[in-house]
């Protein structure tokens, strides 16, 4: 059966998934890029951005694993862009330029309707106003039996965890203390929700933790 997976989700030692003051200039917030240092060095990331060679160790293999058997994505609205409230127009098309890195149908959670947006490379953004269950149902249908990847951000992952809908969560725990930012664990009791840590994999710049629903 199709699984809902969170992959390569970077987290600080004190539980923050992004820094404060996220904006067009700082999409990960202040100090947020420090969480992603493990990813930026990998061959997987550098190849994705046309930058040539990168490291091919554990961090690379964990990043690459996140794209295996993915048939659709779900994103929170903040992951799609910094625009808030009703869409002023259709000019904002994401952070990624004309060819986003998804290459499959991608469902964006929002309170404001918008027509689907087809991009180069096989990505079509669908804007879902009916909540997390509708987004998952539509993503599973589009995935055609393959898995659905939940991209975040932290608030979106929390909603799906609280509902017990995530089958597998890969955290890349970075040796960074942000102090403040977007918390992942706020209001959650993962043990009570039926989750357990089933793998711990040391990487070059992050420790990779795999949580699965029991």
pLDDT tens string 51-67 = 778 888 999 999 999 99
pLDDT at 53: 84
pLDDT at 46 over 90: no
Cβ pair 132, 163 in contact under 8 A? yes
Number of domains observed in the structure of the chain: 1
- Structural domain range at position 131: 4-15+30-84+99-205
Say if residues 125 and 119 touch (Cβ distance below 8 Å): yes
Is residue 6 within 8 A of residue 166, CB to CB? The reply is: yes
Residue 45 has pLDDT above 80, yes or no: no
User: Would you say residue 181 lies in a domain?
Assistant: yes
Q: 197 near 214, Cβ under 8 Å?
A: no
pLDDT average, residue stretch 27-40: 90
The reported pLDDT for the residue numbered 22 is 82
The beta-strand segments (E) located in 95-155 are 105-109, 117-118, 124-128, 147-152
pLDDT at residue 214, as a whole number: 87
Distance between CA 202 and CA 205 in Å, rounded? Answer: 8
Instruction: Give the Cα separation of 32 and 16 in Å (integer).
Output: 9
149 Cβ contact partners less than 8 Å away, ≥ 6 residues apart? 5, 6, 7, 66, 70, 72, 73, 74
Q: What is the pTM of this model?
A: 0.94
SS3 percent helix, strand, coil of the chain, rounded to 5, is: 25, 30, 50
* 105 within domain boundaries: yes
Q: Tell which residue, 185, 188, 210, 183, has the closest CA to residue 18.
A: 183
Residue 211: inside a domain, yes or no?
A: no
The answer to whether residue 63 sits within a structural domain is: yes
Asked if pLDDT for residue 135 goes beyond 90, the answer is yes
The reply to whether 213 falls in a domain is no
pLDDT in tens, 53-106: 888 899 999 999 999 999 999 999 989 988 889 999 999 998 888 999 999 999
Read off the CATH number of the domain in which 121 is found: 3.40.430.10
Asked if the structure places residue 119 within a domain, the reply is yes
The verdict on residue 199 lying in a domain is yes
Between strands 105-109 and 117-118, the pairing is unpaired
> Does 180 map to a domain?
yes
């Amino acid at each position: 059966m199709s699984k809902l997976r969170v992959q390569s989700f970077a987290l600080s030692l004190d539980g923050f998934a992004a820094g404060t003051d996220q904006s067009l200039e700082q999409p990960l917030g202040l100090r947020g890029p420090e969480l992603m240092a493990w990813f930026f060095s990998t061959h997987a990331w550098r190849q994705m951005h046309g930058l040539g060679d990168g490291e091919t160790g554990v961090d690379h293999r964990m990043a690459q694993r996140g794209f295996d058997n993915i048939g659709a994505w779900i994103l929170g609205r903040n992951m799609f862009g910094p625009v808030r409230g009703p869409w002023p127009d259709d000019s904002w098309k994401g952070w990624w330029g004309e060819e986003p890195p998804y290459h499959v149908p991608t469902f964006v959670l929002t309170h404001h309707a918008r027509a689907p947006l087809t991009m180069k490379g096989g990505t079509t953004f669908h804007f879902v106003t009916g909540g997390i269950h509708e987004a998952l149902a539509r993503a599973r249908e589009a995935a055609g039996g393959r898995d659905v990847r939940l991209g975040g951000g932290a608030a979106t992952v929390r909603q799906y965890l609280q509902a017990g809908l995530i089958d597998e969560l890969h955290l890349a725990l970075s040796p960074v203390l942000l102090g403040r930012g977007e918390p992942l664990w706020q209001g959650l009791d993962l043990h009570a929700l039926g989750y357990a840590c089933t793998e711990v994999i040391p990487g070059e710049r992050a420790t990779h933790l795999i949580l699965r629903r029991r």
